Amino acid sequence: MVIGITCYPVAGGSGVVATELGQQLAARGHEVHFVSYALPFRLDTYQANLMYHGVETTAYPLFKFPPYTLTLAAKMAEVARNFKLDVLHVHYAVPHAICAYLARQLLAEGNGKNPKIITTLHGTDITLVGSDPSFYDITRFSIMASDGVTAVSKYLADETTEMFKLEQPIRVIHNFFDEKRFQPHGTQCCRKEFVQDGEFLIAHVSNFRPVKRTIDVIDIFERIAREVPSKLLLIGEGPDTILARRQISKKGLNDRVIFLGNQSRVEVILPCADLFLLPSEEESFGLAALEALACGVPVIGTAGTGLVEVIDDFQNGFLLPVGETSSMARAALSLLNDPDRLVQFKKNAFELVRKRFVSEKIVSQYEQYYEEVLGG
Ligand code: GMT
């Protein structure tokens, strides 16, 4: 198949999933074309069957806001026409789904081959952005105008159906990890660079947006560090990074916390950790949690979110109500203070996700879905 993929190229779950999917599809022999405003994060090495088409925005004094959506739609149509795309797969509904719709209208004008449009919903495109009154109608329209719609969890599919009062089915295709790269005790594990013998390493990866509750991460860590020698490794950056730094200083934890910023190869670092914290307000799936589990790291996350489809409560982590930082710290200490239990949870972490979320399995589900949509 010839597949176009559009995603946000910056660090973030939807871009990572789109990029890794494109790489896996290309490795399976499909021709993959990325269309975005920059080379996607993690698409940092050359690969056969994989091409990138950059979208430019035009500056003009009248444009207070450069019309990226229009240039993106035009580029999608150009790539679809030139390379005869079978499928145009857009990740994150806003604004990519409506751009794909526009591209299809442009192609119809020229009597060209029309690719099937598949929209993958990732989470905040629905729960925060798409549901905002200013975006609601256009998001609903663009979902309904897609030839196929997938969501990264049942939780998100149900939320979307209810929120937008949809009748069309949404196919649940969970996120995945590359089982060749994400492994426990990775060969390049750098634990000694972060902690001394006898210290625990607690990790958190996110884009530091308010929805991630970074302050809760620090609060949980402070409670852990009071009881056991430990360090906190923070990977990623975003609007709440400054807030996090201030809180860390205020709590006198500067010598206990390591900031690494954005990292494209988290699989080299995560296997060094003992525990991963993801106390988000909202999480449609929690790719960061999956990648930690795949590296053999148990996760503490929030109940009532898509994380329930990723974490097996009391087996490879704990699910607790949002904001309950003292319960989360207690759960963490129940593992860190019990070496046998910690070893068991680490083992379960890798083993349980390997059964359900390996790329081998999930990428085939996308291929099958493309075939179904192409078959009408
Ligand atoms: O987590 C974010 O805010 C980024 C966002 C994105 O689209 O980049 O992540 C969402 O998509 C990820 C990939 O499917 C999911 O694993 C995350 O759970 C989801 N984030 C939220 O729902 C908050």
Region for 85 from its dihedrals, namely left if φ exceeds 0, alpha if ψ lies in -120 to 50, beta otherwise: beta
Ligand 1 pocket check: which of 36, 42, 287 to mutate, most ligand atoms within 8 Å of Cβ? 287
Please give the share of the chain, as a percent, with pLDDT higher than 70. 99
Tokens of 131: 């549901």
Query: Ligand 1 pocket, 285 CB below 6 A?
Result: yes
Q: Which residue's C-alpha comes closest to atom 7 of ligand 1?
A: 14
Tell me what the pLDDT averaged over the chain comes to: 95
Does residue 187 surpass a pLDDT of 70? Answer: no
Tokens of 205: 């990866």
For ligand 1, whether the C-beta of 209 sits within 6 Å is yes
Complete DSSP assignment for 1-13: -EEEEE---SSSH
Q: 81 CA distance to ligand 1 centroid (A)?
A: 31
Rounded Cα distance, 359 and 255, in Å: 38
154 CA → ligand 1 middle, Å = 14
The atom number, within ligand 1, closest to the CA of 306 reads: 18
Q: Report the separation in Å between the CA atom of 354 and the middle of ligand 1, taken as the mean of its atom positions.
A: 21
Q: Which amino acid is at 198?
A: G
Query: Could you tell me the distance, in angstroms and rounded to a whole number, from the CA of residue 285 to the centre of ligand 1?
Result: 7
Given this chain, do its domains 2-176+358-374 and 191-356 carry the same CATH topology?
A: yes
Determine if ligand 1 sits within 6 Å of the CB of residue 211.
Answer: yes
What CATH class does 2-176+358-374 carry? alpha beta
pLDDT tens sequence across 364-376:
999 999 999 999 7
CB contact set of 9 (below 8 Å; sequence gap of 6+): 15, 36, 37, 38, 39, 40, 41, 43
Q: What does the block give as tokens for 24?
A: 């896996």
For the record, the structure tokens of 154 come out as 């049942």
pLDDT digits 0-9 by tens, 229-276: 999 999 999 999 999 999 999 999 999 999 999 999 999 999 999 999
129 C-alpha to ligand 1 centroid (Å): 12
299: which strand partners? 276, 317
Domain 191-356: CATH superfamily is Glycogen Phosphorylase B; (3.40.50.2000)
Structure tokens at 357: 């979320």
**What's this model's pTM, rounded to 2 decimal places?**
0.96
Q: Is 344 exposed, middle or buried (0-12, 13-18, 19+ CB in 10 A)?
A: middle
Cα–Cα separations (whole angstroms), residue 14 to 42, 272, 327: 12, 25, 30
Written as six digits, the tokens of 307 are 């994380």
For the chain, the domains span: 2-176+358-374, 191-356
Residues 241, 264: Cα–Cα separation, whole Å: 18
Tell the residue nearest (CA) to atom 19 of ligand 1: 123
